[in-house]
Structure 1
Amino acid sequence: MKALQAIAIDDEPFALEVVKNLLKEIPFIQLVACFTKAVEAIGFLQENEIQLIFLDIKMPGLSGIEFIRSLPKPPMVVFTTAYSEHAVQSFELDAIDYLLKPFSFSRLLKSCNKAYEFQQMKGNGKQVGSEALPVIFIKSGFEQIKIDLADLRYAESVGNYIKLHLNEKPPLISRLTTAEAEALLPANVFIRVHRSFIVAKEKITKIDKRSVWLKETEIPIGPSYLIQIEKLLNQSSK
């Protein structure tokens, strides 16, 4: 699938530069234009096929929310804002994501992964939901590598890196913190069991008082994560 065509709208030029520079590291998103006024983007959208908008909410004149409501067939939207009070309203507009400034590269990458998969599933004629995320892109070295989440068994923190353990494939190393990796992985599919480990729930074959097991692989349970594991056990026993 070719890169998604995107634009960014923000009344602060510095904020646009941040988005522009971060998106340079994400090859499946092509930022084709930036605007400091939402109304300036209307004509551009009428003449160009755009799949994704990175959109600030609080702007003078036409706000981001008013702008989206004015479009008869709006593209996918990722709201980027310094204010959290509009989160519910943004998701009522079927936004792909809501980024609270200042946001990290990994958090932006998560939004882009969502948009990419949403567009991919639409193109395949599949039903799309807000929680659907069967693939993600992970930066490893100078590359963005596509990972099928069905292949990811667990993520392990190794110093300043994350090692992603995959089914029948060599581990993938990425410069991420455990918290950043956790933010990238959907919570309904993965669970953090230790400060250094995140595992795929469906890959767990056994749980005891100190460890979870993925077949022959033993992963320790951190004391602060015991409650989450107990909830998982309760859910599976119902």
Structure 2
Amino acid sequence: MIAIAIDDEPIALDIVKSHAVKVPFLDLVETFTDAFLAISFLQHNKVDLIFLDIKMPDISGIDFLKSLSNPPMVIFTTAYTEHAVQSFELDAIDYLLKPFSLSRFLKACNKAQELYNLRNQKSEAKARHIFIKDGYEQIKVALDEILYIEASGNYTQIQLQDKLVSSRITINDLAELLSKTDFIRCHRAFIVPKNKISKFDRSQIWIGNKIIPIGATYTGIQLT
């Protein structure tokens, strides 16, 4: 995805740039402290995603977005919470509150990537994937290779068909990245893909030989 960032604070742009270089599918081509220069750039260049500050001196990020006749995807970056509802009414992908971590930045980028793939109707839609931070690396995880996901201490472990990926992303944040049509939260510590369930009863699920509990608050979930 081709992206730009707009923020009147150079330090904030530096943070976006430092995070962006760690996201393999993101190409941050330009940054702007002047929103009007960004408008000129958008008139002559194709951009898929904008990281956009809201409180800027000459024009707010909200008004900037409204001024675009055919806006790209937008992730708002701001130190203020009061515009969150309005930003989502404008179909923003996400709303990052400064200072935001790399994992939170990655979560927003993954949301944008999923929508980007959907809009471009990729023929390999079945090979959907997300990127998960594992140590200092971003690991590409194909969703159809996931056997189950387990929260374990400060980590979330993703058991794939051929390996285990361990990340500090929370299981709650990971659940938000997954399709509720294909994945089901069956326990506060477990998420499973529906198509990998070999059998189940009222209290547990089998993924091959792995037995996964169904939490008391998750009884009655639709597993098929």
Q: TM-score, structure 1 length as denominator?
A: 0.77
Tell me the amino acid that sits aligned with residue 155 of structure 1.
Answer: I
Which residue of structure 2 aligns with residue 170 of structure 1? 163
Which residue of structure 2 aligns with residue 6 of structure 1? 3
CA contact (8 A) 1:138 1:146 kept: yes
Q: Using a 3 Å threshold, how does the CA distance of structure 1 residues 67 and 159 change in structure 2: closer, same or farther?
A: same
Shift of 1:6: 0.8
Q: Which runs of 5+ in 2 are unaligned?
A: none
Identity within the alignment, %? 52
Which residue of structure 2 aligns with residue 198 of structure 1? 191
Q: Within 5 Å, give how 1:1-238 maps onto structure 2.
A: 4-124=1-121, 134-166=128-160, 168-186=161-179, 189-201=182-194, 203-204=196-197, 205-209=199-203, 211-222=204-215, 226-227=216-217, 229-230=218-219, 232-233=221-222
Q: Using a 3 Å threshold, how does the CA distance of structure 1 residues 61 and 50 change in structure 2: closer, same or farther?
A: same
Q: Deviations over 1:16-43 (max 9, x none)?
A: 2221111121121111221223222111
Shift of 1:231: 5.0
Q: Deviations over 1:132-188 (max 9, x none)?
A: x9421113344423223233232123454332112x332223343444434544556
CA contact (8 A) 1:152 1:165 kept: yes
CA contact (8 A) 1:212 1:221 kept: yes
Range that drifts further, 133-142 or 88-97: 133-142
Q: Using a 3 Å threshold, how does the CA distance of structure 1 residues 87 and 177 change in structure 2: closer, same or farther?
A: closer
CA contact (8 A) 2:103 2:133 kept: no
Q: SS where residue 2 of structure 2 aligns? A: strand
Tell me the amino acid that sits aligned with residue 14 of structure 1.
Answer: I
Q: Using a 3 Å threshold, how does the CA distance of structure 1 residues 55 and 170 change in structure 2: closer, same or farther?
A: same
Tell me the amino acid that sits aligned with residue 216 of structure 1.
Answer: N
Q: Deviations over 1:87-133 (max 9, x none)?
A: 2322222222222333222221122112222222333368x9xxxx9
CA contact (8 A) 1:11 1:35 kept: yes
CA contact (8 A) 1:113 1:135 kept: no
Range that drifts further, 11-20 or 26-35: 11-20
Q: Deviations over 1:34-91 (max 9, x none)?
A: 1223222111112222111001122222111111111121111111223333223222
Equivalent pairs, count: 221
Q: Which runs of 5+ in 1 are unaligned?
A: none
Question: Aligned equivalents of 1:230 and 1:60: distance in 2?
Answer: 52
Q: TM-score, structure 2 length as denominator?
A: 0.81
CA contact (8 A) 2:202 2:214 kept: no
Q: SS where residue 25 of structure 1 aligns? A: coil
CA contact (8 A) 1:106 1:180 kept: no
CA contact (8 A) 2:75 2:108 kept: yes
CA contact (8 A) 2:128 2:143 kept: yes
Q: Using a 3 Å threshold, how does the CA distance of structure 1 residues 195 and 125 change in structure 2: closer, same or farther?
A: closer
